Amino acid sequence: MKARRSGRWAIILAGLSLYLATVSCNLLAGPQPVAQVVVPSLPAATFTTAPSNTPTATPLPTRTPTPSVTPAASPSATPVPTYVILRGKVLVRSNCRYGPGAPYLYKYGLVPGSNLEVIGRTDLGTWILVRAIGGNNPCWVKASLMDVKGDVMNVEPTYMPLPPSPYYGPPSGVSAQRQGNEVHISWNPINLRAGDDQAAASYVVEAWVCQAGQLVFTPVGAYYPSATVIDEPGCSQPSHARLLGAEKHGYTRAVEIPWPPATKAGTQTTPPSSEASRSRWLTGLSSRPRKRLNSSHWDIRTPPAVRDRRPG
């Protein structure tokens, strides 16, 4: 046991002695040169400044101011007339008719003292359209035969369609010739059956003619197939007219009359060329009163022998 321990210590001492001897030799030999490692110098990196990514502001186009549009002054609106419905009292026993004039068919009679509504008028206000208060069966009466409360010209101008005839067609062969301010109209007669005639005119010329510089509605009745209408120059609108036949049931379809224009010089127009039209034209110029075979029909130029003597 002891022998082992002694051998172990001997080994340790021998190793320690060897170490000390090695160190001593190195110290006696002096400092050893240290190997120098030469590191080659690298060229300094040159840094190039990269272009800036900051966007360059592009100048915006100069905005040219748009000229303001000045709205054109709109024409002033034409004022719409305000019409009224008036009331009036019948002054005398009167005829109330289908149209605004004595040539039209009789519709019914008006009793003095009756109060009526005035719902329409002609352009000049000489004839008015009346009805019972709250009624629906109007007719035309001469304005002078009623006492109207208010100004008739504040009532609306009106034209009411005429009742149609179910049995007769319109007149044919209508022509017109001018002689100065007179327009002579002629046409072929309508032969009525027995019992279809009546006391009013057998024909009605509805004319819009120039009088004193104003276009005026003028109905002209005729008992023969001719009529004369006064038409003066001087209106901005052209004159015109139409012809209707009449029988007790109503009126035929209207036929437009070929209206000869007025001339400032008032030149005379030549008569129609055909013999039949010329004969009718000359007959229309005659001022001699004539009576038809039927005692209830008279020429419009003479006071008609009507069955009803009431005014209007």
Q: What is residue 197's predicted lDDT score, i.e. its pLDDT?
A: 87
Domain spans of the chain, in order of start: 86-154, 175-285
Cα(84)–Cα(114) distance, integer angstroms? 20
Is the pLDDT confidence value at 3 over 60? no
Give which of 168, 128, 130 is closest to 144, Cα–Cα.
128
pTM of the model: 0.64
Give which of 258, 297, 301 is closest to 277, Cα–Cα.
258
Quick one: the chain helix, strand, coil %, rounded to 5? 15, 25, 60
Each residue's pLDDT tens digit, 177-214: 999 999 999 999 999 999 998 888 999 999 999 999 99
Q: What is residue 293's predicted lDDT score, i.e. its pLDDT?
A: 30
Q: What is residue 37's predicted lDDT score, i.e. its pLDDT?
A: 42
Pick the CATH number of 175-285 from 3.10.20.30, 2.130.10.10, 2.60.40.10, 3.30.70.260: 2.60.40.10
86-154 matches 175-285 in fold: no
Q: pLDDT band at 12, cuts 50/70/90?
A: confident
Q: Tell me what the mean pLDDT of segment 278-290 comes to.
A: 42
CB 171 within 8 A of CB 190: yes
22 or 78, greater pLDDT: 78
Architecture of domain 86-154: Roll (2.30)
Identify the three-state secondary structure at position 219: strand
Q: pLDDT band at 105, cuts 50/70/90?
A: very high
Tell me the two tokens of residue 293: 């075979």
Average pLDDT, the chain: 78
266 or 53, greater pLDDT: 53
15 or 155, greater pLDDT: 155
Q: What is residue 262's predicted lDDT score, i.e. its pLDDT?
A: 87
